[in-house]
């Protein structure tokens, strides 16, 4: 592994270090910033951008890792680059014969985020790695298969596959299966997935069954198509080398590359139709067909890969009709949130690419901004502001089931008094798919960037409050114990006093008897 790192190009090392930062990985000298403080006495962590560090410094940091799991992740990033290089080399040697389908594969592989997003832990048990052949016939294959999945939230904060659909180039359905989850589900996210627990009654199809079916469908160099496809592949636990990701191929005009168009916007601007009605749940068969149509439109008509970014007032009003609910214990289902927050609303559960284990985030979506504001005002909790000036409350609760705890509720708009003071820090609401977002935790809405900006800050603040609450609970518990001990001491004192009195009485009796006998 050290040899591979030493021979890697700087841009590759930069991506690996950024991935290590993103996943909060630590070597024997800590994380990236800890390493810099130790390694560079002059600048330390003040110069922490990996791109501004030399290849030697980057390699030195990566060599501090020795755990097998960490090395496997780094090896996977290097493998992604190797896969990319193989495709690019093939393209150079046969540039005149590159098909439109192969070009889209190349565009996907050339995206700066590809090595990060597609660096799956495929070394782990249960993953399927399709054959990586470099034969000319396989590399020249133009057959395509589009896939889309629906996932539910598990009790450990991860996601489980509950439905998968795949269509061929002619939009013929090749696979449409409900999938029996291997973990306990706490939320089917029906508002988004359209799937309930009842839909899975009697389902016997497993993830392994789906993998076997897709292995057959993906043979002979077939290209896999999807929108933010890495999320689907992660749910499927499949590592496939030839992919077309429409979230990579298309982009917004005059917007940073990390702001990815939603599938709904691509259907609207590229294909000319609405993918789904406002408020309707996802349908993975429709989404798979939409991804294939986008690929075909690019292949057959070479449509512009840039679409306009339009911020509509109506869309912003929809965004303001939400409350961000975060640091929610996983034992609290989306239905339980209705017992904590008043009013009529639907719940859109969000999950992180890196699960937090016992917590998750969600949006409470109301009919309008006034309803969201009223629900927020009725909440009984500690009122504060996040770093962007948005009001939030730390709310303690106790459910009828006996479950108790705390969560944070944040408004998606500032108070009027905060607007002028914080205008420079506010990030615009975007209709997009930000980097690292979990695909099925969205409804093609604005505010994903806002949620990413605020969740960390608000979570840190709430984390501080939660720690303070835990500390106070421990103090109260200690005091209760001390009080109990004092009560026990008082009881013993009374018992001793009674016994002393009894002994004194007995002594009097003995003295009296002695006197009588002396007489």
Place of tokens 């986008």: 294
**What does the alpha-carbon distance between residue 49 and residue 229 come to, in Å, rounded to a whole number?**
28
Q: What is the pLDDT of residue 452?
A: 47
Provide the CATH number for the domain formed by 99-308 in this structure: 3.30.420.10
- Ranges of H-type helices in 270-391: 284-301, 313-320, 334-340, 369-378
Which of 99, 97, 100 is closest to 294 using CA atoms?
Answer: 100
Pairing of strands 128-129, 391-398: unpaired
Which of 345, 308, 356, 304 is closest to 323 using CA atoms?
Answer: 345
- Helix and strand element counts for the chain (H, E): 19, 16
Residue 90 has pLDDT above 80, yes or no: no
- Cross-strand pairs, 151: 161
- H-helix or E-strand containing 217? helix 207-217
pLDDT band at 144 (very low <50, low <70, confident <90, very high): very high
**What does the alpha-carbon distance between residue 515 and residue 505 come to, in Å, rounded to a whole number?**
16
**What does the alpha-carbon distance between residue 149 and residue 288 come to, in Å, rounded to a whole number?**
8
pTM of the model: 0.59
Least confident piece of the model among 123-127, 233-237, 253-257:
253-257
CATH class of the domain whose range is 313-429+447-468 = alpha beta
- Cross-strand pairs, 418: none
Greater model confidence, 228 or 507: 228
Burial of 421 (0-12, 13-18, 19+ CB in 10 A): exposed
* Span 420-444, pLDDT tens digits: 333 333 333 344 555 545 554 444 4
Which of 359, 378, 372 is closest to 456 using CA atoms?
Answer: 359
Instruction: Please give the mean pLDDT across all residues of the chain.
Output: 80
Q: What is the pLDDT of residue 196?
A: 92
Q: For the stretch 58-83, what's the b/e string if a residue is b when 16 or more beta carbons lie within 10 angstroms of its beta carbon?
A: bbebbebbeeeebbebbbbbbbbbeb
Contact indicator for 252, 306 with CB cutoff of 8 Å: yes
* Span 451-472, pLDDT tens digits: 444 445 555 566 666 666 766 7
Paired tokens of 253: 């005009």
How many residues would you count in the chain? 519
**What does the alpha-carbon distance between residue 291 and residue 171 come to, in Å, rounded to a whole number?**
10
Q: How far is CA 259 from the centre of its chain?
A: 17
The residues spanned by each domain of the chain are 1-97, 99-308, 313-429+447-468
Which of 399, 401, 326, 309 is closest to 361 using CA atoms?
Answer: 326
């Amino acid at each position: 592994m050290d040899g591979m790192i030493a021979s890697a190009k700087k841009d590759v090392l930069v991506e690996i270090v950024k991935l290590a930062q993103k996943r909060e990985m630590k070597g024997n000298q800590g994380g990236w910033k800890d390493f810099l403080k130790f390694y560079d006495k002059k600048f330390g962590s003040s110069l922490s951008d990996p791109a501004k560090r030399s290849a030697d410094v980057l390699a030195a940091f990566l060599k501090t890792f020795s755990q097998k799991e960490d090395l496997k992740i780094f090896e996977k990033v290097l493998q992604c680059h190797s896969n990319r290089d193989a495709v690019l080399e093939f393209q150079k040697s046969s540039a005149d014969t590159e098909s439109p389908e192969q070009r889209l594969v190349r565009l996907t592989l050339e995206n700066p985020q590809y090595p990060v997003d597609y660096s799956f832990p495929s070394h782990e048990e249960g993953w399927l790695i399709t054959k990586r052949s470099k034969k000319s016939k396989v590399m020249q294959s133009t057959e395509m298969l589009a896939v889309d999945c629906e996932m539910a939230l598990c009790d450990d904060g991860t996601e489980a596959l509950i439905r998968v659909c795949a269509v061929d180039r002619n939009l013929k359905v090749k696979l449409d299966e409900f999938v029996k989850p291997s973990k306990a589900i706490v939320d089917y996210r029906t508002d988004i997935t359209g799937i309930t627990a009842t839909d899975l009654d009697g389902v016997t199809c497993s993830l392994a069954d789906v993998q076997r079916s897709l292995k057959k469908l993906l043979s002979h160099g077939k290209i896999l198509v999807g929108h933010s496809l890495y999320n689907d592949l992660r749910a499927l636990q499949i590592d496939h080398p030839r992919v077309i990701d429409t979230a990579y191929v298309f982009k917004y005009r005059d917007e940073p590359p990390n702001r990815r168009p939603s599938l709904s916007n691509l259907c609207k601007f590229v294909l000319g139709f609405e993918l789904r009605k406002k408020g309707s749940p996802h349908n993975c068969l429709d989404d798979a067909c939409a991804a294939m149509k986008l690929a075909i439109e690019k292949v057959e008509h070479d449509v512009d890969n840039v679409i306009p970014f339009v911020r509509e007032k109506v869309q912003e009003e929809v965004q303001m009709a939400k409350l961000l609910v975060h640091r929610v214990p996983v034992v609290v289902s989306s239905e339980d949130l209705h017992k904590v927050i008043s009013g009529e609303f639907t719940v859109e559960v969000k999950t992180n690419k890196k699960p937090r284990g016992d917590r998750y985030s969600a949006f409470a979506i109301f009919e309008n901004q006034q309803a969201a504001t009223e629900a927020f005002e009725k909440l009984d909790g500690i009122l504060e502001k996040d770093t962007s000036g948005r009001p939030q409350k730390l709310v303690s609760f106790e459910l009828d089931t006996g479950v108790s705890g705390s969560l944070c509720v944040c408004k998606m708009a500032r108070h009027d008094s905060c607007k002028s003071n914080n205008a420079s820090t506010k990030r615009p609401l975007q209709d997009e798919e930000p980097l690292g977002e979990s695909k099925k935790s969205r409804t093609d809405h604005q505010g994903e960037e806002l949620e990413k900006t605020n969740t960390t800050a608000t979570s840190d603040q709430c984390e501080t409050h939660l720690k303070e609450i835990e500390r106070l609970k421990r103090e109260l518990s200690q005091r209760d114990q001390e009080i109990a001990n004092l009560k026990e001491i008082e009881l013993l004192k009374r018992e001793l006093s009674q016994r002393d009195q009894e002994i004194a009485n007995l002594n009097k009796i003995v003295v009296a008897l002695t006197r009588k006998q002396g007489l």
